[in-house]
Amino acid sequence: MSSTTTNTARNDVAPIPLIEKPSRTHTPVPAGPPDGSTAASHAASPGGASKTACIRTFGCQMNVHDSDRMRRMILDAGYAEVGAYEDADLVVLNTCYVRENAVDRVRGHLGELNRLKREGQVKKIALTGCIGAAEESRQLKRQYNIDLVLGTHNTYELAEFVGLPGMEETHTPELPGTEGEHAAFVTIMTGCNYQCSYCVVPSVRGRMACRPMENVLEEVRRLVGSGTRYVTLLGQTVDAWRDPEGSGKRFYNLLERVAEEAARVWFTTSHPSNMEDRTLKLIGERDTIVGKLHLPVQSGSDRMLKAMHRGYKSDRYRRKIEVFREAVPEGTLSTDIIVGHPGETEKDHEETLRLVEDCSFDSAYVFKFSPRSGTEAAGLAKLPGAVPEGVAQRRFLEVLRAIEHNAFQRNRRKIGSAEEIYVRHAKNGKARAIGETWSGHAVHVPTNAEPGRYVTAKIEDAGPHVLYAGEPVGQPR
């Protein structure tokens, strides 16, 4: 395994949004299924529909969001969604390309699908997302007999593939969220203008394109009107958002407005160079903004930050964290850290450990450097400065342990406090539902409340990744 995270409650979903290509995204045209009958309900049962589809999502929240949009197309085309490959006529693998093992993982799934297809169970395979946008997808298509390969910029083509009449294209990222759900993602910008040495995102997702402010607000209002209680603003570098209509509005202004419209708001991912102090203060001032910040630092060494082209020094990052901690004293802070980037010395690593100590993160996603073809660092990895695997593994564990130790201490401080908890995932046969406090802690809570409701309960125990609440008091709201 070349990367992991200190957060446990994730399956294939990676830590932060990797963004999408700027142009030629789509707005779906309302459409019925090709046979002219009325569009299938999103709750269609596998037994009631003649065609079935399974969507598997790998990677970041952007991919989760893209999968939601593809799901809508598929359901509108009359498919019922199923959970197992064996039960599906159509399988969509929406993929991530950020780290090497992501491709290996997808290969495993493709091998299995290929077998099911030969046996006549699965009929069509679609590969979408970041691997679909990469050169490597051509070889995968041939090797695994894939029927449709789509990148991140042309997912609308899935509509035609599943038999919908067509999609109207636009040149701004107008990406509707999921209506009627308790929580929705709203993409405010796509792409990335940075060129971090190790990162494949700019080549698969393209340059930054921002969505107009009014357009975002309209969508937020529509979502809120249809029952959404939690809006997450998404972008690879959300805090780099600028109103493309020339109003001069920046991310701070947009967040301020969204926080007036929606009952609960969060945003991810931010870049330290774009994060303004006033935005950090706003998190503390507005009671509709969840008090958690995900701010990837990548390294604590200025030398490595320079090699990575991150555009800031470690002390500037520390200062941002001070502002956040002062503005949101109970808030939670998470980050991304890469160990073993080419050229990283023991001294660089110690500086990362020092920064981890200084910033007192509540959680972090720690990655071992993985060379991605086409990136600058992949070239460097072939030179003498490459960090041997054993060394990278040790550094990885050291950073992970430091983070976990700290997170555990911080979480234990919450024991005894009464918290208002937003239910994100229902109990569904398990002992506890999974929720989130206003300061962004993940909490397990024994309640039957539906997702989107709030319960109030006392924190009784804490682990490094999650808090455990007792029986809620009063009724869910």
33 contacts ligand 5AD (rule: CB under 6 A): no
Q: Which stretch binds ligand 5AD (CB under 6 A): 34-42, 175-183, 246-254, 362-370?
A: 362-370
372 contacts ligand 5AD (rule: CB under 6 A): yes
Q: Which stretch binds ligand 5AD (CB under 6 A): 202-210, 220-228, 272-280, 364-372?
A: 364-372
Q: Which is nearer to ligand 5AD, 130 or 199 (CB)?
A: 199
Q: Which is nearer to ligand SF4, 15 or 78 (CB)?
A: 15
3-state secondary structure of 170: strand
367 contacts ligand 5AD (rule: CB under 6 A): yes
CB of 236 to ligand SF4, least distance (A): 4
CB of 205 to ligand 5AD, least distance (A): 12
- Burial label for 390, CB within 10 Å (0-12, 13-18, 19+), is exposed
Among 348, 347, 343, smallest CA distance to 385 is for: 343
211 binds, among ligand 5AD, ligand SF4, none (CB under 5 to 8 A by kind): none
What is the C-alpha to C-alpha distance for residues 328 and 275, in angstroms, rounded to an integer?
15
What is the C-alpha to C-alpha distance for residues 372 and 392, in angstroms, rounded to an integer?
16
**Sign of torsion over alpha carbons 32, 35, 37, 43:** negative
338 binds, among ligand SF4, ligand 5AD, none (CB under 5 to 8 A by kind): ligand 5AD
**Sign of torsion over alpha carbons 101, 335, 61, 9:** positive
Task: Report the amino acid identity of residue 443.
Answer: V
Q: Which is nearer to ligand SF4, 269 or 447 (CB)?
A: 269
Contact 423, 443 (CB under 8 A): no
198 contacts ligand 5AD (rule: CB under 6 A): yes
- Per-residue burial over 138-170, b = 16 or more CB atoms within 10 Å of its CB, e = otherwise: eebbeebebebbbbbbbbbbbbebbbbeebeee
Residues within the interface to ligand SF4 (CB under 6 A): 192, 194-196, 199, 201-202, 236-237, 271
Q: Which stretch binds ligand 5AD (CB under 6 A): 207-215, 249-257, 343-351, 366-374?
A: 366-374
Q: Which is nearer to ligand 5AD, 51 or 292 (CB)?
A: 292
Q: Which is nearer to ligand SF4, 201 or 305 (CB)?
A: 201
Task: Report the amino acid identity of residue 304.
Answer: M
Q: Which stretch binds ligand 5AD (CB under 6 A): 27-35, 113-121, 176-184, 367-375?
A: 367-375
What is the C-alpha to C-alpha distance for residues 463 and 466, in angstroms, rounded to an integer?
5
Task: Report the amino acid identity of residue 398.
Answer: E
464 contacts ligand 5AD (rule: CB under 6 A): no
Report the first-to-last Cα separation within the chain, whole angstroms: 42
452 binds, among ligand SF4, ligand 5AD, none (CB under 5 to 8 A by kind): none
Where on the chain is the footprint of ligand 5AD (CB under 6 A)? Answer: 15-16, 98-99, 198-199, 296, 298, 336, 338, 367, 369-370, 372
